[in-house]
Amino acid sequence: MFPSGFYRDENDELNVQGIKISDLTNRYGTPLFIYDTGLMKERYEEFLDTVKNVNGNIHYAVKANDSLNVIKFFGKLGSGADIVSIGEFEKCVAAGISPNKMIFSGVGKNKDEIEIALRNNILQFNIESEEELNDIYNIASKLKLTANICLRVNPDIAPDTHKKISTGEKETKFGIDIDDVARLYKRLYELDYINPVGLGVHIGSQIFDFSFFEKAYLDLKNIADDLKKNGYQVPTLDLGGGIGINYNSNKKPNFITYKKIISDIFLKSDYQLSFEPGRSLIAEAGVLITKVIRNKKNKGKNFVIVDAAMNNLIRPTLYDAYHKIELVKDKIGEEIVVDIVGPICETGDFIALNRKLIEVKSDDLLTIRTAGAYASVMKSNYNSRVDAVEILIHDGKSYKIKQTDTIQNTILKEKMVDFNF
C-alpha cells in the first residue's frame, strides 16, 4: 500500500502512490495537475464519519472541481452532487450521478435550466428568491411536473473569511432574507406542483471559526422547528459546505470540531441533513507541477518565472491566496526571497510573492500544493495559452483525464470573416 497524498522518498523527491513526480512530468509535460484518489477517498470517508450520526447525506460541490473523473470517483463512494448550472448537471450525468441525487443551487437558474432539471426529476431546487419560485412554479405547472423546493436562508452572518467568498450576509446576492422565510415557506403549500422539502443555509467558504456555523445552524433549526409546530412539514435541512482547509500546512480539516457542533444541534432531531463539501474533499488531493523557465533580477528584486500562470491557478491573483510551494526534488542551497510569476502579460500574474525559496535554475520543477479545488476549474485561455494537462493517480497508475487543447484546435473553433476593403 502507498501512503495517501504526496510524500518524499529516500532521495527527497516527491512521489505519489509509488510514482516519482519527475517521471510523470517527463511523460505528460508541464504545467501538470495531479490528483491522488488515495487522499480523495481518505477525506471523503473522514467527512462521512463526521455526518453519519446525524442522518447526513453528502452532495459533492461540483464547482470545486468539475473533472468528470473526480465527480465519478466521489459518486462511486456514495456521494450525490451539488450543482449550480446545467453544464454541471450534464457533467454529473456523464459521470454516473443520478439526477435524483443532485441539488440544484445558485441564484441564476434560467428557465431552460429549470425545465431540463424538472424533466430529469432532480432531487431538489435550492431557491434564492420569491421571483425564482414564481418561475419554477410557472414552468412546473406548464409541464405538470412537481418541483421539490428548499428555501435557502440568508441569516445575515458574516463569517471570518475572504469577502469574495462570504455568502451569508444580507448585502450579498445569496439566499432569502431570514425574516421572509416563514411566510414564503407557508406559500409553498398554496401552490400546485410545488413540494416543500426543507430549508438550507450556506454562509461561505474557508471558514475556520465554527461558531459562525453554529449560529447559522441554530437559526435554521429554530425556523424549521417553528414551522413544524404550526403544522408544516420540514423534512430536510441543507447545511451547505464551507469548512476551511489549511493551505500553508499539512494539517487536516477540522472535522472533529465540526462533528461536535452538528451533533450537539441535530443528534436528537429527526431532520434529514444534507451537506455540500467541495474544497475539504478535493483541495489537498491535487497539486500543480510547474517548470522554471528562468530567473530574473530587477533592481534587487528576484523573480522565478515558471510555465504555470494565472490562467491555470487564479486564486493568488483573485484572492491573494497562499499556496505552499516546494521543489519536486529537494536540494541544499541558499534561500532567497523571490516572486514566483507566470508568463502572462499582467503584473497580477503571480503564484507567490516575497516567498523564501532555495535558489532554483531553469528546468527545475516546483510543486504548488493544495491545488485540487478552485484551480483548474477556474482556468482561462488568456494570452492564447492552452490548458494544463490533468492526470489522476489511482491504484499506483496514472491516467490522463483531461487533455490540453492545441492552439490549432482553438483557431478552428473561430470563423474568419471575409473583410472586403
Summarised one tens digit per residue, pLDDT across range 26-35 is 999 999 999 9
Instruction: Of 2-11, 64-73, 375-384, give the lowest mean pLDDT range.
Output: 2-11
If asked whether residues 391 and 272 sit together in one domain, one would say no
Out of 281, 311, 339, a domain closes at 281
Question: What's the alpha-carbon Rg for the chain, to the nearest Å?
Answer: 23
Least confident interval from 81-90, 174-183, 304-313 = 174-183
Helical (H) or strand (E) element with 358: strand 350-358
Pair (243, 319) in one structural domain: no
1 in any annotated domain: no
Same domain, 182 and 228: yes
pLDDT band at 405 (very low <50, low <70, confident <90, very high): confident
Plot region of 240 (φ>0 → left; ψ -120 to 50 → alpha; else → beta):
left
Q: How far apart are CA 236 and CA 191, in angstroms?
A: 19
- CB neighbours (10 Å) of residue 358? 15
Give the CATH number of the domain where residue 215 resides. Answer: 3.20.20.10
- Choosing from 345, 412, 416, 417, the catalytic residue is 345
Are the C-beta atoms of residues 65 and 33 closer than 8 Å to each other?
A: no
44 and 79 housed in the same domain: yes
Kindly state whether residues 113 and 140 are assigned to the same domain: yes
Is 150 an active-site residue? no
The residue among 262, 281, 300 that closes a domain is 281
* Same domain membership, residue 172 and residue 101: yes
User: 145 and 175: one domain?
Assistant: yes
Same domain, 218 and 299: no
Residue 224 and residue 81 share a domain: yes
CA distance 208 to 334: 35
Q: How many domains does the chain have?
A: 2
Q: Which three cell numbers stand for residue 412?
A: 478552428
Give the whole-angstrom CA distance, residue 293 versus residue 308.
Answer: 10
* Residue 417 is assigned to a structural domain of this protein: no
Mean pLDDT to the nearest integer, 169-183: 91
**Percent of the chain having pLDDT more than 90?**
88
Domain boundary (237, 263, 281) is at: 281
Instruction: Identify the band that residue 300 occupies on the pLDDT scale cut at 50, 70 and 90.
Output: confident
Q: Determine, yes or no, domain membership for 418.
A: no
Q: Which domain holds residue 253?
A: 38-281
Q: What's the angle, vertex CA 152, arms to CA 150 and CA 154, rounded to 5?
A: 160
pLDDT for 164: 85
Same domain, 315 and 220: no
Q: Which residues pair with 296 in a beta bridge?
A: 303
How far the first Cα of the chain sits from its last, in Å, is: 68
Are 340 and 260 in the same domain? Answer: no
Residues 133 and 206 in one domain: yes
Q: pTM of the entire structure?
A: 0.95
